[in-house]
């Protein structure tokens, strides 16, 4: 999608501090971190919302969950714990309309429940 900020990062049109990349996902540092480790895990296919997931594009999302443990280990948060957050739609707080996960850690995070 031509106006999508994350698509522009994927296409290297906008710089980002990339932590990991393969054919399915890109992981980069959040520019407004909420924790010592705050990474965005983004599928390389433009999927705007969770409601757009289907059997054709789900492998982009499964790759996030396959790689998160490795990235958490590389970031030194695998043993102390980390949080994965996904927002979907404007009422959730999703600011960029490209589905993504926030990986947060590096400090004790406040409970949400």
- What is the spatial distance between Cα 85 and Cα 76, in angstroms, rounded to a whole number? 18
Active site residue 100: yes
Which of 32, 46, 100, 102 is an active site residue? 100
In this structure, the chain runs to a length of 113
Max intra-chain CA distance, the chain: 39
Active site positions, annotated = 100
């Amino acid at each position: 999608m031509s106006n999508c900020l994350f698509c522009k990062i994927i296409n290297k049109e906008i710089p980002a501090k990339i932590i990991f990349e393969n054919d399915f996902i890109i992981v980069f540092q959040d520019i407004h971190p909420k924790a010592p480790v705050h990474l965005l895990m983004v599928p390389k296919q433009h999927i705007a919302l969770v409601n757009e997931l289907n059997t054709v594009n789900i492998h982009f999302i499964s790759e996030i969950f396959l790689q998160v443990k490795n990235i958490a280990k590389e970031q030194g948060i695998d043993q102390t714990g980390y949080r994965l957050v996904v927002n979907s739609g404007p009422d959730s707080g999703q600011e960029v309309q490209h589905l993504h996960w926030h990986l947060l850690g590096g400090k004790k995070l406040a409970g949400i429940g």
